[in-house]
Chain A
Amino acid sequence: SQQGEEDPQALSIQEGENATMNCSYKTSINNLQWYRQNSGRGLVHLILIRSNEREKHSGRLRVTLDTSKKSSSLLITASRAADTASYFCATDGNDYKLSFGAGTTVTVRA
């Protein structure tokens, strides 16, 4: 069963704009991870945020985590055509397994 749920399911933005997507989960976690999947490819890890962290940056990516609300957000700033992909959040509990959400499909228009 899927632990994380992303919102929105799909997002279309103009190149240069920011893209924000959210992830909600149900049970306690050790960390939350975001992955990107380009069409026809495997998943690529973007960023990991631990349960005791509130915000993390990596390049044009910013991730927040609110454990009281059991939610996380991923912000991509100054989007590019190459950011067109599906983005998944995955929660890491105490059992060494990642639980993936259904993903947000992002389309960046030139």
Chain B
Amino acid sequence: DAGVIQSPRHEVTEMGQEVTLRCKPISGHDYLFWYRQTMMRGLELLIYFNNNVPIDDSGMPEDRFSAKMPNASFSTLKIQPSEPRDSAVYFCASNEGSGHEQFFGPGTRLTVL
């Protein structure tokens, strides 16, 4: 397996624009997680899915953020409209469930000007 795949790897956009981040989890993993990493706040869990269903989105900062998982092999994290404070590295991870290690993607470095 190629591991967790994320795209794009880098995204530079202007304030107010819509940003869509993409993730393909490892095949067979039932859980998918979206994290955000910044120097100030560290690694934060934004939302996670089980069998394509959002289970906990309490970490999503505000309504400008939304996430979907239309099928077992694809998820998106959308920010609309984007703001400079959204600049961060966004990671997607997947695993087989609690008690199992999480496999992280390489991340998307987002810069909002």
- CB of B99 within 8 A of chain A? yes
Query: Can you name the residue of chain A whose Cβ is closest to the Cβ of B45?
Result: A97
Query: Can you name the residue of chain A whose Cβ is closest to the Cβ of B105?
Result: A42
B 74-113 to A, binary, CB cutoff 8 A, 1 in contact else 0: 0000000000000000010100011101111111000000
Give the complex CA separation of A31 and B33 in angstroms.
18
> Interface on chain B toward A: helix, strand, loop, or mixed SS?
strand
List of A residues within 8 angstroms of B103 by Cβ: 45
Known interface pairs A30-B99, A92-B99, A97-B45; A44-B55 also in contact (CB < 8 Å): no
Give the total number of A-B pairs whose CB atoms are below 8 A apart. Answer: 53
Query: Can you name the residue of chain B whose Cβ is closest to the Cβ of A1?
Result: B44
Q: What is the number of residues of chain A that contact chain B, defined by CB distance less than 8 Å?
A: 24
Residue ranges of B at the interface with A (Cβ–Cβ < 8 Å):
4, 31, 33, 42-43, 45, 48, 50, 55-56, 91, 93, 97-99, 101-107
